Chains A and B, each alone.
Chain A
């Protein structure tokens, strides 16, 4: 279990996260949502052990959070890169956590294949396009196989098909029992989550599932939810196609 107890991290009087308490069970997939500046990245950084809250504590399985148990993919990939080639970028993290040489390359290539970036092994990370950077940044953390995966808007620069692949990757990791928390401003990505946490001005203001989110907030919703509402169906994370199919067979 990932346990946050009364966590406060303040940059100044008004900005930061304030008195956040929550538990995330092993194997949960949680979407962390909220407006620009609501504190999502700050909370993820605290959960990854990158910043130390002034108050409160964050633990994973009873121990203070730290890499590599908790892995984070940054909102801006440029902030994550430290080496001069894509391959080095992949290997660096694995070396740090003591993965044997033979296995390192295997893991690195498998992760790059997942995001379609094996072709770029020798490229300098800074020579990549925006979306390519984001893919490599994701692969580097996936290869480390953390217990808890924190993803900070990792699809913002991906093309639509890469976003679909990303959703497949997450669904696959969910099946494998990974604990995942991701932030996004793209409502279609809500559908991967079992649970939603919403921040507002650094405070936790919502904790519930998709149905509760749809009924208790005015937020824009994925198209399939709009469709379900229009047709008076129960709100759930089924695809629009499944909804249309069900309407057709019932009539």
Chain B
């Protein structure tokens, strides 16, 4: 099912974070939530997860929602990875066999080797910790996942691994809402983009619209296009002919080169 927010107003200690916000997140899509610092992205996810009760408005969402906090990888409390993974299932009264199978599946999903099970969570590297935090959530088989800046602080390789894991999970028919400041990630992995603005005039667009059809919309939200896309539009304007849009820097570069060749700027 879609996730629907209707006329939501949130106040935190007398500070109005947003007013009368209505939005629909479509099911089975990867929706990137973007916007300037302090615009209310994290608060919005807290409301969807029902961690924070809005002052007014209604939220319609499935019950089984997973939420990967920004610093979830700094909040492990069990002595071993295995215990960390067992904790929630035990709480829900799962059988031993079911837990074991769940752990095997989820480790495979997040690309962690079974050899980490006996380690302390804090012995894992930064990227592994992030994926363990994800595994702890995925073992409960949510159909909706909310993630808050899941790649902040990861090196490029670890970033890609995390994003690939999330993508694979989403493509199995699940719904992902992902807060991020990395526009290149939105372009490469997202389906929809929810742009939150300080003015309250938030907008939902597809990635295609947002980066290629109306690239000014990101600027209007006080954000910026990635350099590859900015360059693509610049060259397109100079040539006065449409170039082939693409989702990665490599491919965008190829479109740019092709366009310049056809128009005699390069030989």
Q: Is the CB of B249 within 8 A of A161?
A: no
- Return B18 CB to nearest CB of chain A, in Å: 13
- Return B148 CB to nearest CB of chain A, in Å: 8
Q: Chain B 209-229, CB within 8 Å of chain A: the 1/0 string?
A: 000000000000011101110
**Within 8 Å CB of B125, what residues of A?**
36-37
**Within 8 Å CB of A251, what residues of B?**
264-266
8 Å CB contact of A36 from B36, B158, B265 = B158
- Return B15 CB to nearest CB of chain A, in Å: 8
Interface residue tally for chain A (C-beta within 8 Å): 40
Within 144-195 of A, Cβ neighbours of B (below 8 Å) are at: 153, 156-164, 185, 187-188
Q: Using known A-B contacts A227-B253, A247-B260, determine if residue A159 contacts B36 with beta carbons closer than 8 Å.
A: yes
**Within 8 Å CB of A216, what residues of B?**
none
The answer to whether the Cβ of B42 comes within 8 Å of any Cβ in the partner chain is yes
The answer to whether the Cβ of B102 comes within 8 Å of any Cβ in the partner chain is no
Q: Is the CB of B257 within 8 A of A230?
A: yes
**Within 8 Å CB of B253, what residues of A?**
226-227, 230
Docked complex Cα distance between A36 and B224 (Å): 27
**Within 8 Å CB of A240, what residues of B?**
227, 230-231
Q: Quick one: closest B residue to A157, CB to CB? A: B152
Q: Is the CB of B222 within 8 A of A223?
A: no
The answer to whether the Cβ of B142 comes within 8 Å of any Cβ in the partner chain is no
The answer to whether the Cβ of A50 comes within 8 Å of any Cβ in the partner chain is no
Q: Is the CB of B152 within 8 A of A161?
A: no
Within 80-135 of A, Cβ neighbours of B (below 8 Å) are at: 127-132, 135
Interface residue tally for chain B (C-beta within 8 Å): 42
Q: Quick one: closest B residue to A115, CB to CB? A: B37
The answer to whether the Cβ of A75 comes within 8 Å of any Cβ in the partner chain is yes
The answer to whether the Cβ of A244 comes within 8 Å of any Cβ in the partner chain is yes
Q: Is the CB of B37 within 8 A of A162?
A: yes
B36, B127, B181, B253: which has the most chain A beta carbons within 10 Å? B181
The answer to whether the Cβ of A220 comes within 8 Å of any Cβ in the partner chain is yes
Q: Using known A-B contacts A36-B127, A230-B257, determine if residue A156 contacts B235 with beta carbons closer than 8 Å.
A: no
Within 121-138 of B, Cβ neighbours of A (below 8 Å) are at: 125-127
A129, A158, A219, A248: which has the most chain B beta carbons within 10 Å? A129
The answer to whether the Cβ of A35 comes within 8 Å of any Cβ in the partner chain is yes
The answer to whether the Cβ of B93 comes within 8 Å of any Cβ in the partner chain is no
Q: Is the CB of B226 within 8 A of A223?
A: yes
Q: Is the CB of B227 within 8 A of A161?
A: no
- Return A121 CB to nearest CB of chain B, in Å: 14
- Return B247 CB to nearest CB of chain A, in Å: 14
The answer to whether the Cβ of A222 comes within 8 Å of any Cβ in the partner chain is yes
The answer to whether the Cβ of B154 comes within 8 Å of any Cβ in the partner chain is yes
**Within 8 Å CB of B127, what residues of A?**
36
Q: Quick one: closest B residue to A243, CB to CB? A: B231
The answer to whether the Cβ of A224 comes within 8 Å of any Cβ in the partner chain is yes
- Return A100 CB to nearest CB of chain B, in Å: 32
Docked complex Cα distance between A80 and B70 (Å): 18
- Return B244 CB to nearest CB of chain A, in Å: 16
Q: Quick one: closest A residue to B129, CB to CB? A: A36
Q: Chain A 223-235, CB within 8 Å of chain B: the 1/0 string?
A: 1101100110000
Q: Using known A-B contacts A129-B37, A220-B156, A226-B253, determine if residue A157 contacts B231 with beta carbons closer than 8 Å.
A: no
Q: Is the CB of A227 within 8 A of B231?
A: yes
Q: Using known A-B contacts A244-B231, A247-B266, determine if residue A131 contacts B37 with beta carbons closer than 8 Å.
A: yes
Q: Which residues of B line the A interface, CB within 8 A?
A: 12-13, 35-38, 42, 70, 125-127, 149, 152-159, 181, 183, 222-224, 226-228, 230-231, 234-235, 238, 249-250, 253, 256-257, 260, 264-266
* Closest 4 pairs between A and B when the two form their complex, measured CB to CB: A131-B37, A36-B126, A223-B227, A160-B224
Other A-B pairs, 11, CB within 8 Å; known A223-B226, A240-B230: A36-B127, A130-B37, A131-B38, A132-B37, A132-B38, A157-B149, A158-B37, A159-B37, A159-B222, A164-B224, A224-B227
